[in-house]
Copies of this chain bind each other. A is one copy, B any other.
């Protein structure tokens, strides 16, 4: 299980975030995790799990898993294969890879059985509560108020975060909430955590930064007491 507060870095699939560059980025994250004691996890592409997992101490997650059992499913990947490759968990239902409700439930349940970490991404309060009813380890919320605009966590109305956390916890107190949007600086991070988030899901803010180390240190600074 991931220790909180946690920083989950989604590598997506940029030309700067796969293959040996993904490994370099992971080494940066690992160093900062080591120094600060903050848990950092790397969500990498499916073919890169076996490149990175054996060479790092930080948690490696898959960016996706298919809701299948073993069988005739050419080109699809079940959780067992991801676990064998070195992933300790997976993102589920990312906004760029939405899944059917029955698939999300299947994956959350199977992560539980396999001892893998499940992080279900959601797009508003209602879907966050629905996801929470499935009892994944984490719900990573991207509040619509914080997407693609100038509003960050530290400038938004506090209720955008605290309200979601509260409603999710009412559905299931065991589910932890990650803030998946509106985080640009360490200040946003500390605000998000103050408002009840137990971590951050971040992608381009770190992955596409000119200076990975600097960007990550800034974000992680918001998690240090």
Contacts and interface: CB of A to CB of B under 8 A. Distances in A.
Contacts of A135: 126
Nearest to A17: B70
A145 to B, nearest CB: 16
A162 interface: no
Contacts of A127: 101-102, 105, 134
Given A75-B91, A204-B72, A101 B131 contact: yes
B132 A81 contact: no
A63 B133 CA distance: 26
A99 interface: yes
A77 B13 contact: yes
Nearest to A168: B133
A164 to B, nearest CB: 13
B15 A77 contact: no
A82 B135 CA distance: 34
A19 B81 contact: yes
Given A81-B47, A84-B19, A104 B101 contact: yes
Nearest to A109: B126
B75 A101 contact: no
Interface stretch (A26-34, A48-56, A216-224): A48-56
A186 B48 CA distance: 37
Interface centre among A13, A19, A50, A93 (most CB of B within 10 A): A13
B71 A97 contact: no
A64 interface: yes
A184 to B, nearest CB: 17
B77 A47 contact: yes
B78 A13 contact: yes
Interface in A114-171: 122-124, 126-127, 129-135, 171
14 contacts: A12-B71, A13-B74, A13-B77, A19-B84, A45-B81, A51-B85, A72-B96, A73-B96, A73-B97, A93-B101, A99-B100, A101-B130, A126-B133, A130-B134
